[in-house]
Amino acid sequence: MERTILHSDMNSCYASIELLYHPELRGHPLAVGGDPEARHGIVLAKDQLAKKAGVKTGMALWQARQACPGITFVHPRMDLYLRFSRMAHEIYSDYTDLQEPFGIDECWLDITDSCSIKGDGKAVAEEIRSRMKRELGITVSIGVSWNKIFAKLGSDYKKPDAVTQITKENYRTIVWPLPAGDLLYVGRATQKKLAKFGILTIGELAQADIDFLQRVFGKMGAVLSVFANGLDQTPVSLENTEAPIKSIGNSTTTPRDLTCDRDAAIILTLLAESVSARLRENGFACRVVEVSVRDNGLYSFTRQRKLQMPTDITGEIADAAISLFRESYGWQNPIRSLGVRASDLTDPLTPFQLDLFLDQDRRDRLHMADMSVDSIRRRFGFYSIQRGIMFYDRALSKLNAKDDNTVHPHGYMERGNRTGADGAKADESGYATAGRR
């Protein structure tokens, strides 16, 4: 039985959600990102009006203002966008439990088994599109095909608020004339390399000799050939087995240059508190902790460590970050900026192998203590309860990392085809700093 795969993409996701809460801004160009007051940060998302004016994701705010003088910037609210993502998945779950997120705003759905009840792929896509608009107030573009790659091309083909069906009868007409760069995992460098050999469209890539592609791109050459010919058989993963985002982190430029391990530990603990609180708030645990460091000479690096078991416990994330920092930096210069990121996210209720040398009862108590701190802070404010280390330097500990400085969740396709010849294309949920820099 031939598969029926949908790819649903929320149109201008962040900006569309913000317009629901700021209806007075409708009809005016809008972008989400950075600190509009301080003119710091980058554009994370933009609406159709800003896009038409030349505003692009990743632009500095001042560049966006130059391209579109009448633009309005709003501060990002990632927790709100995650809530809408969860509500979208609740709608998808009425049609299938085979849901694979591609960031916050995109998702593949395998509706093969429900087509006999719900109707064919296009009918289901139209129903989902109508429900998203009616129940959530946002529009989606949906691609319908027999494989994930062409389904995604379908959702990109016509925007906003549209359904495009790509079949075995019409794919040569719809897909093959498209630029090679439109194919998932054909980045700019790969597109340039293909162009050197006269391969400009997906059709030309599909018809290129596979041995030649493998000589030029290695194993990825064969993968691109499979994608272009519609032969991808990658399955859509089961609902809740993949997180809609792959990492949550925070970074900050510190109130003053840091000059010793204690200074760094204060900031890293504050950032770890923010990261762990967001993990708990959104129902994730992490298996990898990463620190990023930039000194006042603008030298920077990142280091990461895999944890023994998934965690959302502040102390465990802070200890891992502080240990990584001490092992990696020798204080050649004072520190100007630090970041902590939790990645390789999973559901905290996912079963895991217990460790004989770890006290799981103590870990459970620490988790409950963190939940209590979260509750107190929600009710009485961030500064109502603080860790003892914060009293070593009250100037440094004034940072409210959770509310003031957000490194937004990073989304990318992890399952099946892990990396492209030069990396996957960025989407609205890409890793981007929107706080003070």
Model pLDDT for residues 294-311, shown as the tens digit of each residue: 998 888 899 999 998 899
Q: What are 241's two structure tokens?
A: 């087995």
247-410 CATH, one of 3.40.50.300, 3.30.1490.100, 3.90.1170.50, 3.30.70.360: 3.30.1490.100
Q: Domain 176-228, what fold?
A: DNA polymerase; domain 1 (1.10.150)
- List residues bridging with 108 in a β-sheet: 7, 100
pLDDT tens digits, residue range 202-239?
A: 999 999 999 999 999 998 999 999 999 999 999 998 76
- Per-residue confidence band for 412, with pLDDT thresholds at 50, 70 and 90: very low
Summary mean pLDDT of the chain: 85
pLDDT at 154 over 80: yes
The answer to whether the pTM exceeds 0.75 is no
- Per-residue confidence band for 401, with pLDDT thresholds at 50, 70 and 90: low
Output the CA–CA distances (angstroms, integers) from residue 371 to 137, 358, 385, 423, in the order listed.
Answer: 32, 21, 13, 37
**Where, residue-wise, is CATH 1.10.150.20 in the chain?**
176-228
pLDDT tens digits, residue range 8-20?
A: 999 989 999 999 9
CB 399 within 8 A of CB 417: no
- Per-residue confidence band for 35, with pLDDT thresholds at 50, 70 and 90: low
pLDDT tens digits, residue range 236-294?
A: 987 665 566 678 888 888 888 999 999 999 999 999 999 999 899 888 899 999 999 99
Residue 106 appears among annotated catalytic residues: yes
State the chain's maximal CA–CA distance in angstroms: 69
Q: Which amino acid is at 92?
A: Y
Structure confidence at residue 380 (pLDDT): 86
Single out the catalytic residue among 106, 242, 290, 428: 106
Query: Where are the alpha helices (H) located in 7-147, listed in sequence order?
Result: 13-21, 48-52, 61-67, 78-92, 115-118, 121-131
pLDDT tens digits, residue range 54-113?
A: 999 888 888 999 999 999 999 888 888 889 999 999 999 999 999 998 888 999 999 999
CA-wise closest residue to 277 among 183, 378, 186, 346:
378
10-14, 94-98, 184-188, 401-405: least confident range: 401-405
Percent of the chain at pLDDT exceeding 70: 87
Structure confidence at residue 1 (pLDDT): 73
Of 103 and 37, more confident? 103
Domain 1-174 has CATH 3.10.129.10: no
3-7, 142-146, 242-246: least confident range: 242-246
CB 317 within 8 A of CB 333: no
- Per-residue confidence band for 427, with pLDDT thresholds at 50, 70 and 90: very low
pLDDT at 200 over 90: yes
**Where, residue-wise, is CATH 3.30.1490.100 in the chain?**
247-410
Sign of CA dihedral 421, 13, 343, 39: positive
**Where, residue-wise, is CATH 3.30.70.270 in the chain?**
1-174
